[in-house]
Amino acid sequence: MQVFRGLHHPGIAPQCALTIGNFDGVHRGHQAMLALLTNEARHRGVPSCVMSFEPHPRDWFAARAGTPEAAPRRVATLRDKLAELQRCGIDQAVVMRFGAAFAGQSPQAFVTDVLQRGLGARYVLVGDDFRFGARRAGDYALLDAAGAKAGFDVARMMSYEVHGLRVSSSAVRQALADGEMAHAAALLGRPYSISGHVQHGRKLGREWGTPTLNLRFGHARPAAQGIFAVRVHGLGDQGDDGDDGDGTLPGVASLGVRPTIEDAGRQLLEVHCLRWPAALGRDGAYGRCVKVELLHKFHDERKYASMQALREGIAQDVADARAWFATR
């Protein structure tokens, strides 16, 4: 999959079958839409394309209003969103910077400058609640009429349901906020996961006998927070000493701001693997890109009264994780 920041790149396909949206989490409703898009793209002999936004439009509007807390919590980082789009067979992703200029476009300017001139859309697929242009003035009827005039097809996909419940990014966020990881997985069609490169930290865990893998979450407000039982992909080869026979490693993880240690507002995923492949050595994980599946939530992040209390809390979390995996 090719990824472009903005429209003005020579490598962007001159024509495409397009869908537009934030695609936060790339849940099962998104996946159904992407499957329809790739089928329509093949039928027309053009590449499939997703246009998404960074920052999230609601992030930008909330920051502009001085209420950043009103923005939705983020399900996935941009890295993970793009990885899922690629897994779904998308040929091209265009990430638009959402700001004042983009927000101020009239619906007609959006159609002419972005859909026609920028992307050469031959087919445009949108969701049932799609709006576009300044003040959300454009709707499906306006887009359909513009497509008929300009010569591109427009289609709308209605809501996708699982067990009678509408699948949405909002529903995934709520499930993660409630610690309902099995429900989140049902909405996503896979376990909820976060990926990134393992970075160096303060190595306090190593000093305490619980070394951790440190991954940054590239957004200030993740949808999930707390202490979790996890599986780590990307460190063990299948059959390695220490893994579970499928190349994964069981572990316990903390996702949050580490309030006892620093609470600088940076979101960090810290993972302690319950078993460790001997072949990696002590420092073999640094720089590697890993995927961490969050399988079960034990409790919210806690601020401990002392470093000793923190150490005791970590030891209890490790014990809880071992007990949880022992029943699986």
Mean pLDDT calculated for residue range 239-262? 76
Amino acid found at 2: Q
DSSP class of residue 112 equals I
pLDDT at 21: 95
Mean pLDDT of the chain: 92
More confident site: 232 or 211: 232
Which pLDDT value is given to residue 240?
57
2-166 and 191-326 agree in CATH topology: no
pLDDT at 244: 61
Q: Could you tell me where the DSSP H helices lie in the chain?
A: 28-44, 57-64, 78-87, 100-103, 107-109, 140-150, 169-177, 181-188, 204-207, 307-326
Domain chopping of the chain, boundaries: 2-166, 191-326
134-161 pLDDT, tens digit per residue, is: 999 999 999 999 999 999 999 999 989 9
- Give the chain's largest Cα–Cα span: 69
Q: What confidence tier does 118 reach under pLDDT thresholds 50, 70, 90?
A: very high
Place 288 in a pLDDT band, splitting at 50, 70 and 90: very high
What's the confidence (pLDDT) of residue 284? 82
pLDDT per position as a tens digit, 177-218:
999 999 999 999 999 999 999 998 776 666 777 788 999 998
Residue 58 clears pLDDT 60, i.e. is over it: yes
Q: Please tell me the distance from the alpha carbon of residue 26 to that of residue 45, in angstroms, as a whole number.
A: 25
Instruction: Tell me the CA distances in angstroms from 5 to 10, 19, 95, 122, one per residue in order.
Output: 12, 16, 5, 21
The span from the CA of 121 to the CA of 152, in Å, is 7
Amino acid at 170: S
Residue 3 is encoded by which pair of tokens?
Answer: 């990824």
**Side chain identity, residue 179:** G
Whole-structure pTM over 0.85, yes or no? yes
Just give the CATH number of 2-166: 3.40.50.620
Task: Give the percent of the chain with pLDDT over 90.
Answer: 79
In angstroms, the CA 251 to CA 289 distance is 16
Q: How far is 51 from 178, CA to CA, in rounded Å?
A: 30
Residue 53: pLDDT band (50, 70, 90) is: very high
What is residue 313's predicted lDDT score, i.e. its pLDDT?
93
Mean pLDDT confidence for 272-293: 89
Summary count for the chain: helices (H), strands (E): 10, 14
What does the pLDDT read at residue 203?
Answer: 67
Angle in degrees, CA 29, 97, 130, rounded to 5: 35
- Interacting residues of 323 by C-beta distance below 8 A, sequence separation 6+: none
Instruction: Considering only residues 307 and 188, tell me which one the structure prediction assigns the higher pLDDT.
Output: 188
Tokens encoding 78: 């941009």
The predicted model gives 98-125 an average pLDDT of 96
Q: State mean pLDDT over 278-284.
A: 82
CATH for 191-326 (2.170.270.10, 2.40.30.30, 2.60.40.10, 3.40.309.10): 2.40.30.30
